[in-house]
Amino acid sequence: MARFDGYAVLITGAGQGIGEATARRFVSEGARVLLTDLDKARAKKAAAAVNESVGAPADADAPDASSPGSTGRGVAEALACDVADRTAVEAAVAHAVRRFGRLDVLVNNAYSCHPDAPLFEDESDDDWHQDLDITLNGAYRCARAAMPHLAAADGRGAIVNIGSVNGLYDFGNHAYSAAKAGLGSLTRTLAGHGGPRGVRVNLIAPGTIRTNAWDGREAVIERVSELYPLGRVGEPEDIASAVAFLASRDAAWITGVTLPVDGGVLVSSPVVRGTFGNE
């Protein structure tokens, strides 16, 4: 029996990168997964790629995908969802419950990140509000809609928020970093609320991950890799593995934590070590 047989999972921002890799991991372990993304075509493409990669049914109407409580081979489905829209979020959660008969795991992965203005006083209100609304408020909307179903999931209910090392340390991106720091606080307060209801809530703080956001900047990725004690940047699958752990019964006594998955970047500075390490 696979670790997530019978589980139903909803992932936001799942059209590529960490979200798609996380969906693939869950489906490979037996879960039925709803991939949501602002871009419907991207979500459908990612779901098809996930199903193909793990040998799941390509037809979303296959019995294993739609029978409530069914176990066996996992499958991915796709749905457009704008996490900035409460109605769309509630519709996505309702769709997952209708299709799968339950909801056990929510992965809040959707985010927005605008580059900083050269001077802080030139920061745009619109960029600031959008980064917070998608990254922090979006997770809040999803957790609010999902919580009653997660609480009814027979002790399997879990929320895994995708934060960032930016929420823990200065790596730039004022609005994005503030939103990720806020998401860490929301994780802790939701863990306190959800625990008595059988829902665990945790956060993963990734370091630099090789995703589509870095397309065309391979030389930068190589330079950044030198800052990591483990000698490389992360891959989406590194984060997917951590998400699967925190969502599973293997982490049954873990809630309210922030887990850095960062190649050691938060605990070691190669620049400082190179300057003072031989003294």
User: Residues 7, 44, 111, 180: which is the catalytic one?
Assistant: 180
Listed in sequence order, the residues at least 6 apart from 191 whose beta carbon sits closer than 8 Å to its beta carbon are 200, 201, 202, 255, 256
Q: Which two tokens stand for residue 260?
A: 């850095």
pLDDT at 11: 99
Residue linked to tokens 């887990």: 259
* Gap between the Cα atoms of 246 and 142, Å rounded: 18
Phi/psi of residue 207, each to 5°? -85, -150
* Gap between the Cα atoms of 213 and 16, Å rounded: 10
Region 222-248 average pLDDT: 95
Torsion angle of alpha carbons 261, 262, 263, 266, nearest 10°? -120
Q: Which two tokens stand for residue 57?
A: 């049914």
**In the chain, where are the structural domains located?**
8-276
Strands ordered across the beta sheet of 105-108: 75-80, 32-37, 8-11, 105-108, 158-162, 200-206, 258-261
* Gap between the Cα atoms of 143 and 106, Å rounded: 7
Residue 65 binned pLDDT confidence (cut-offs 50, 70, 90): very low
* Gap between the Cα atoms of 85 and 216, Å rounded: 32
User: Residues 7, 111, 140, 176: which is the catalytic one?
Assistant: 176
β-partners of residue 108 are 161
- pLDDT above 80 (res 100): yes
Within 10 angstroms of residue 32's Cβ, the number of other Cβ atoms is 31
pLDDT in tens, 168-210: 999 999 999 999 999 999 999 999 999 999 999 999 999 999 9
Helix spans in the chain (H): 17-28, 40-54, 63-66, 86-100, 125-132, 138-151, 174-194, 218-225, 236-247, 270-276
Listed in sequence order, the residues at least 6 apart from 119 whose beta carbon sits closer than 8 Å to its beta carbon are none
pLDDT at 215: 86
- pLDDT above 90 (res 144): yes
Find out whether 108 and 12 touch, Cβ atoms under 8 Å. Answer: yes
- pLDDT above 50 (res 270): yes
Would you put residue 72 in left (φ > 0), alpha (ψ -120 to 50) or beta? left
* CATH T-level fold of 8-276: Rossmann fold (3.40.50)
* Global confidence as pTM: 0.92
- pLDDT above 70 (res 16): yes
228 as an active site residue: the answer is: no
Q: What is the CA radius of gyration of the chain?
A: 19
Residue 225 exposure: Cα atoms within 13 Å on the Cβ side: 13
Find out whether 211 and 17 touch, Cβ atoms under 8 Å. Answer: yes
Torsion angle of alpha carbons 5, 21, 105, 91, nearest 10°? -110
pLDDT at 262: 96
Find out whether 81 and 57 touch, Cβ atoms under 8 Å. Answer: no
Residue linked to tokens 């991991």: 25
45 as an active site residue: the answer is: no
Pairing between β-strand 258-261 and β-strand 200-206 as defined by DSSP bridges: parallel
